[in-house]
């Protein structure tokens, strides 16, 4: 699925049983919403328009009955439009298990929004950090080893994201795999250089325009990830079936 360049941290995660959508902005609308067959959790990191569209979120939730997990700013925009038992407001440090997926919210460092968040998601067979377009938050030092994969922002017109901040995220979390998002080609490449110098054991994957990659190439993580970025790429990694 193509989420579009207007959702620079838009991400779809899937394993053999669960599907999670994060920050699609307004890239899934109209007929695309009707094609959604399964969505268990829908997360929003904050209410900026390159991450969040209230009308799209309402349509997606209505179609899929997904649980919508949001920061306070997005909650204020959606409250009353999504059933209360399907709308979950999270704050920094809060952890919940929803639809069998562990979700931990950590404060995002990002201006002009209300209590923005980053997330760590724990599935039955892998774990993921989604860094929104945040700067580095030292609170991440308390989550070392909690994410197998770190998806980190490298700029993308964000006033807080940068390769240097992304490097600090990776150092704090110590994941086995790293994927850049919300960034330009130059910023993504610079993060790769920094990781090679300072975190050589982390496998770094820069998605290429309209490229496809089997997940078997990614240190045994069995999931699908689709990213839309300002470099107009997507990465589609198929489920790896365990023997």
| Domain residue ranges of the chain, discontinuous segments joined by + | 11-235
CA-based radius of gyration for the chain: 16
Tokens in use for 53? 């569209």
Other CB atoms within 10 Å distance of the CB of residue 31: 7
Please spell the DSSP secondary structure of 63-125, one letter per residue.
Answer: HH--EEEE-HHHHHHHBTTB-GGGEEE--TT-EEEETTEEEEEEE-B-SSSSS-EEEEEE-SS
Topology, domain 11-235: Metallo-beta-lactamase; Chain A (3.60.15)
77-107 tens-digit pLDDT: 999 999 999 999 999 999 999 999 999 999 9
129-164 tens-digit pLDDT: 999 999 999 999 999 999 999 999 999 789 999 999
Please answer whether residues 106 and 119 qualify as being in contact, where contact means their C-beta atoms are separated by less than 8 angstroms. yes
18-27 tens-digit pLDDT: 999 999 998 8
Q: Model's pTM, two decimal places? A: 0.87
Residue 11: what are its φ and ψ, rounded to 5°? -140, 135
Sign of CA dihedral 129, 130, 135, 139: negative
Tokens in use for 162? 């940068």
Q: What is the mean pLDDT of residues 164-189?
A: 94
Helix axes 163-173, 185-198, angle to 10 degrees: 40
Please spell the DSSP secondary structure of 128-166, one letter per residue.
Answer: EEE-TT-B--GGGGGGTTS-SEEEEE--TT-SS--HHHH
Please answer whether residues 71 and 47 qualify as being in contact, where contact means their C-beta atoms are separated by less than 8 angstroms. yes
Report pLDDT for 186.
Answer: 92
Bridge partners of 43, per DSSP, are 22, 69
Which DSSP letter does residue 179 get?
E
What is the overall mean pLDDT for the chain? 85
């Amino acid at each position: 699925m193509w989420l579009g360049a207007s959702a620079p941290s838009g991400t779809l995660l899937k394993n053999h049983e669960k599907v999670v959508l994060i920050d699609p902005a307004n890239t899934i609308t109209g007929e695309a919403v009707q094609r959604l067959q399964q969505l268990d959790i829908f997360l929003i990191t904050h209410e900026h328009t390159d991450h969040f569209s209230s009308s799209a979120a309402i349509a997606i939730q209505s179609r899929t009955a997904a649980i919508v997990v949001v920061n306070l700013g997005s909650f204020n925009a959606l409250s009353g439009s999504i059933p209360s038992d399907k709308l979950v407001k999270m704050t920094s440090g809060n952890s919940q298990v929803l639809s069998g997926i562990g979700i931990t919210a950590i404060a995002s460092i990002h201006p002009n929004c209300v209590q923005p968040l980053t997330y760590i998601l724990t599935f039955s067979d892998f774990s993921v950090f989604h860094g929104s377009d945040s700067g580095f938050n030292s609170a991440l030092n308390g989550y070392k080893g909690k994410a197998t994969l770190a998806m980190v922002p490298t700029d993308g017109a964000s006033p807080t994201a940068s390769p240097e901040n992304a490097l600090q995220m990776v150092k704090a979390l110590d994941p086995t795999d790293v994927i850049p998002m919300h960034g330009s080609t130059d910023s993504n490449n610079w993060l790769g250089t920094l990781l090679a110098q300072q975190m050589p054991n982390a496998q770094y994957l820069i998605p290429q325009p309209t490229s496809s990659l089997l997940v078997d190439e990614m240190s045994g993580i069995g999931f699908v990830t689709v990213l839309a970025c300002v470099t107009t790429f997507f990465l589609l990694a198929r489920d790896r079936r365990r023997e």
